[in-house]
Structure 1
Amino acid sequence: MAQSGEHSGRNISFSPEKDVRYVRNLQQISDDEKAYLWSSDKERDDTMHSILKTVRMIQMNGKKTRRCIRGIEQYIFPEFTEQKKINKDCVLLAVLQEQDRQKTLGIYDPEELRNASKSASEWARNLALKDGAEDAKEVSLH
C-alpha cells in the first residue's frame, strides 16, 4: 500500500517497493577502476577532434558524409538545438498551465497532466521514431 502525505492541499504517494542501490563514492573507487570506466583526457580530446572534423566536413560539403551524425546534430545545425529548446519549453508550459487550471478548479487529475505533456511532446516522440527508423535502416545496410 502506498504511503500518502498532505502538504498544501496536495497528495504525495510513495511506492511501497524499494530498490536501494548503494553507489561507492569517488574515494572508494580504485585508480584502475577509474581508468577502466572513465574516458581519459586523450580519449575525450580524440572524440572531440573527430566530432569537429565531422562538423567541418558537413559544413563544407553539405550533408554528404558517410559519418554518423547522431548525437552531434547540435554542433552542425544550431537551429536544431534552438527548436528542441523551444519545444521543451512548450511541454513545460503546457504542464504548468494544466497545473494552474487544476489548482483554480480545486482538483488534481494526473491523467490530464499526462495528457498535457503527451500532447505537447508529440514532436519528440515522432522525431525519436523517425530517427530510430533511420538508424535501423542504416544498421541493416552495413
Structure 2
Amino acid sequence: MNRFAFRRPRSGVTTVEFAFTIPVLFLFVFAAFELGRANMMMHTAEAAAYEGARTGIIPGAQADECITAARQILGTCGIGQAGVEVTPKNLDTISENVAVEVSVSFKDNTILAPLFMGDSVIERTCSMTRER
C-alpha cells in the first residue's frame, strides 16, 4: 500500500512561504547595506580628519589646505556633503595643536533612503602637535 496515495494536494504552499520570508530577507539585506555604508563613512571621516590635521602641522600650512586635503579623502568614497572645520582658523598664529573636525550627515550621503540610521551625523576629530 502506498502511503502517499491519500495525500491531499498542497498547491500554493511554496508561494505563501515565499511571501512571508522575502520581506525578512530584504530587511536583512538593506540593513546590512546601510550599516556597511555607515561604517565606511565613519572610517572615511576619521581618515579625512587625520589627513587634514597632517597637512596642518607642516610649517607654513594654511587652513584651506587642511580643508582641501580632508575633502579629497571624503571624495574618494563619494561623500560630497560634509563639514570640515580647522582649529585654529588662522594657522599663522602660534599654537601647539591643530585640530580638524569632520562632520558627515548620513541622510545627505546615502544611496538609498536611510531606514535604519535616520538623521544621524557622524563626527570625527583629529588633533596633532604642530612642527616648529
Q: Indicate whether the TM-score tops 0.5.
A: no
Higher helix share: 1
Higher CA-based Rg: 2
Higher strand share: 2
TM interval, short-chain normalised: 0.3 to 0.5
Of structures 1 and 2, the one with the larger relative CO (CA 8 A, separation 6+) is 2
